[in-house]
Amino acid sequence: MNKLAYKTPLYEQIEHILYEKIQTQEYLPGQKIPSERELAEHYKISRTTTKHAINSLVEQGLLTRKLGKGTFVVSGIDQRFNISFQNSRSLTNSLSSSGISIANKQIKFFTNIDSAFLRQKLCLANDEPVFGMQRLKLHCGKPFALENSFVPGALFTDFYQIDFNNIGLYDYMESKGHNLENYQVYQQIETLMPEEAKLLNVAEDSYVIKSCYSSADQNQQIIEYTESYVKANKGIIQYHLNFK
């Protein structure tokens, strides 16, 4: 039996023990873990303490409770994200509204962009600059989605000086006086290029859900074109799109 320390709160110690068992796959994806009562008896602690620890792991997306059945390690098929874009501005915001924590990791800026396709998407003239960046979306520290975002350079002149690891794209746009008012999105299933598959940690022949967004501000000016690739082999994603 694991010996518990005295300085660290007991629930954090139990949380860490369970976390390690999940990470080392002593508890396999989809496996039912011991009940709160069983854990309390095993570690000679209160059920309130074990409940606190389990609640924390549920909030992190590592465990899931099933009514009348118990608590289980989250598996790929259990990671079902119900995403609603009603009153929401982005994939991250939509997931956060569903209680799913998503972190951003900026991979790189796209510079010296000369693309007729992107200028057409952003409604720009042939000589107008396009700025862009690539970010990973992380869930529980693991890659969940890859996003390539492009904006009109003339509207966002300091774009390449912004730390998008910590600053949201739409928050940045709003700081420049461009509020997201309307957007269009279309989706398709496709495979990734080798570099993109590596970033998402999937096989090159794995399917992903590709969503393409064109966003406009309060003046109906196009301010963004984004291509988002969401892993399709780790769960079911339901989109509820609402257009005004």
Average pLDDT over residues 171-180: 92
Tokens of 211: 């969503």
- Record the pTM: 0.61
Backbone φ, ψ for residue 64 (5° rounding): -140, 140
The percent of residues in the chain predicted with pLDDT above 90, rounded, is 43
Average pLDDT over residues 178-183: 87
Task: Tell which CATH architecture fits domain 79-240.
Answer: 3-Layer(aba) Sandwich (3.40)
Rounded Cα gap, residues 192 and 197, in angstroms: 6
What's the pLDDT tens digit per position in 182-206?
A: 878 888 888 888 898 889 888 887 7
Q: CATH 3.40.1410.10 region(s) of the chain?
A: 79-240
Average pLDDT over residues 148-163: 96
Average pLDDT over residues 139-168: 91
What's the pLDDT tens digit per position in 52-102?
A: 999 988 877 788 898 889 999 886 534 444 444 444 555 555 555 555 567
pLDDT at res. 164: 92
Tell the CATH topology of 10-75. Arc Repressor Mutant, subunit A (1.10.10)
**How many Å is the maximal CA-CA distance in the chain?**
71
Rounded Cα gap, residues 234 and 216, in angstroms: 31
Higher pLDDT, 137 or 1: 137
Q: CATH 1.10.10.10 region(s) of the chain?
A: 10-75
Give the β-pairing of 237-240 and 81-84.
Answer: parallel
What's the pLDDT tens digit per position in 207-221?
A: 888 889 899 999 999
pLDDT > 70? residue 5: no
pLDDT at res. 84: 46
